[in-house]
Structure 1
Amino acid sequence: MESATVGSTRGRRERLRAETTAEIKQVALELMASGGPDAITLRAIAREMGMTANAIYGYFATRDDLVTTLINDVYTSLADAVDAAWDTAPAKDPARRIQAWASAFRDWALANPEGFRLIYGDPVPGYRAPEGGAAPDAAHRVCTGLTALAAAAWPHAGHLYADSDFQWSDFDAGLLGKVRPAFPDLPPAAVALALRMWGHLHGLVSLEVYGHLHTQTISPDKLFREELAQLVRSLGIVPKG
């Protein structure tokens, strides 16, 4: 009986700790949304939550520890979303796969604007990521996913880049360490294509997340769909169905 009581107490404490940790992270993102990246401070979060500054240090020893956790959570959420979209699209329909990945990226960004700004917007002033990065696994998955877009398009678009003069030396060694093992048959021009595709997608999504399209169009979703359709056409891919 005593053992059951101890276990119940421990479970309650763990649940409360998890809830408080989740609230700390949510408040941090809200502060960033309203005050920018430099608004993320442990003291400000403690004040918003009605906690003492010392109490919050029991959850995160430093501000950088919190930011690293946030980046990892956010990046993992994004990687999960785009991976799931890619996997559900027919493997034999590259147009659908590209559109599914891209649409999932936009949908995630619009649903998580603070998270998007944290990983793709202005850096948190003074933040120092741990060695290897804040979210190495998730970043690897997103990077590999982008290259998969180019790999899906390459059988259709490769001839369009026959005169490309890209060499492996034109790319960051860290990037190549992620994508070449996953796609050993792709040439350097295909990696360049992946980056250009990324520019198409990221540019419009960034404009929308940061509110720059609201005064330009009432149909940003239509604009994005048209951009995707044009991208697929430019790659020589004919959508199926």
Structure 2
Amino acid sequence: MAEARTSTPRERYRTQVRAEIKEHAWEQIATAGASALSLNAISKRMGMSGPALYRYFDGRDELITELIRDAYRSQADTFRAAAEAGADLAGLAHALRTWALEDPQRYFLIFGTPVPGYRAPDDITEIAAEIMTVIVDACAALPSEPTPDGAAEAFDTHLETHRQWARDHPASPAALRRALSFWTRMHGVLSLELAGQFTGMGFDPALLYAAELEGLLGP
């Protein structure tokens, strides 16, 4: 039996044009940032009229949403593939660094300065939750940490009843705290590195990243 056609020539053309629009959008973002994204400028680059381009995207926010969705999906797929290949928390950290360095503008679109007036739809929040679930899974698989005291103990107590961000994952509060520490410390180093804040300081950011990871994993 012949295979059913999954798309028409018109649908394939539409997909190609949308992909080209997104390519030009990434070029704009790399040059001037997401807040300066202009559909009119993209239409001129593509030799289209403004109204013609709006047949493919309703407006700037829809285009930004597509780019953010693609970025989160790329990171989620990277983490999922690493986890399925047996990566532990250290492996996820290395996967994150590689992913970020491959395309800094993609990284900054989702972890940099928020676009004024923009709010991501719920489905993107769900993709971000997938990423956090992989991290929490990896933290839950690590040996238990020593009994916390002071601020760490207070935060663990707080996390016992404030774990909705982890989709109520059954991991211990200590594992949840480690997941949050991973998220903040790894992204802290990456964000400063990619923003050029270490330029001229004379050290290798990769070694700082590795040292922060080692400190996070403990003895």
- Report TM bin, short chain: 0.7 to 0.9
Aligned mates of 1:197, 1:142 — CA distance in 2: 12
Contact 1:30 1:114 (8 Å CA) reproduced: no
Show the counterpart of 1:87. Answer: 84
The alignment status of 1:147 with 2:136, answered yes or no, reads yes
> Which of 1, 9, 23 matches 2:20?
23
Number of residues paired by the alignment? 211
> Which of 86, 93, 104 matches 1:102?
93
Of structures 1 and 2, the one scoring higher in RCO (CA 8 A, sep 6+) is 1
Show the counterpart of 1:208. Answer: 193
CA 49–171 in structure 1, closer or farther in 2 if over 3 Å, else same? farther
Contact 2:29 2:37 (8 Å CA) reproduced: yes
In the superposition, the TM-score normalised over structure 2's length comes to: 0.84
Gaps of 5+ in 2: none
The alignment status of 1:116 with 2:139, answered yes or no, reads no
Contact 1:71 1:118 (8 Å CA) reproduced: yes
Gaps of 5+ in 1: 1-6, 90-95, 237-241
In the superposition, the TM-score normalised over structure 1's length comes to: 0.77
Matches within 5 A, 1:216-231: 216-217=201-202, 219-231=204-216
> Which of 99, 120, 136 matches 2:125?
136
Show the counterpart of 2:144. Answer: 156
Show the counterpart of 2:165. Answer: 175
Aligned mates of 1:231, 1:193 — CA distance in 2: 7
Superposition CA RMSD, Å: 2.4
Offset at 1:172? 5.4
CA 51–171 in structure 1, closer or farther in 2 if over 3 Å, else same? farther
Matches within 5 A, 1:59-98: 59-89=56-86, 97-98=88-89
Aligned mates of 2:88, 2:72 — CA distance in 1: 21
The one-character-per-residue Cα deviations of 1:183-241 (angstroms, maximum 9, x if unpaired) are 31x33333222111212111111112212223224633233233323332x2x3xxxxx
Show the counterpart of 1:197. Answer: 182
Aligned mates of 1:226, 1:187 — CA distance in 2: 25
Return the letter of the residue paired with 1:142. I
Aligned mates of 1:151, 1:82 — CA distance in 2: 16
Return the letter of the residue paired with 2:100. A
The one-character-per-residue Cα deviations of 1:137-156 (angstroms, maximum 9, x if unpaired) are 31111111222232122x33
Provide the secondary structure at the position in 1 that maps to 2:154: coil
Return the letter of the residue paired with 1:156. S
Contact 1:147 1:194 (8 Å CA) reproduced: yes
Provide the secondary structure at the position in 2 that maps to 1:135: helix
Offset at 1:51? 1.6
Provide the secondary structure at the position in 1 that maps to 2:127: helix
Aligned mates of 1:189, 1:173 — CA distance in 2: 12
Provide the secondary structure at the position in 2 that maps to 1:61: coil
CA 214–86 in structure 1, closer or farther in 2 if over 3 Å, else same? farther
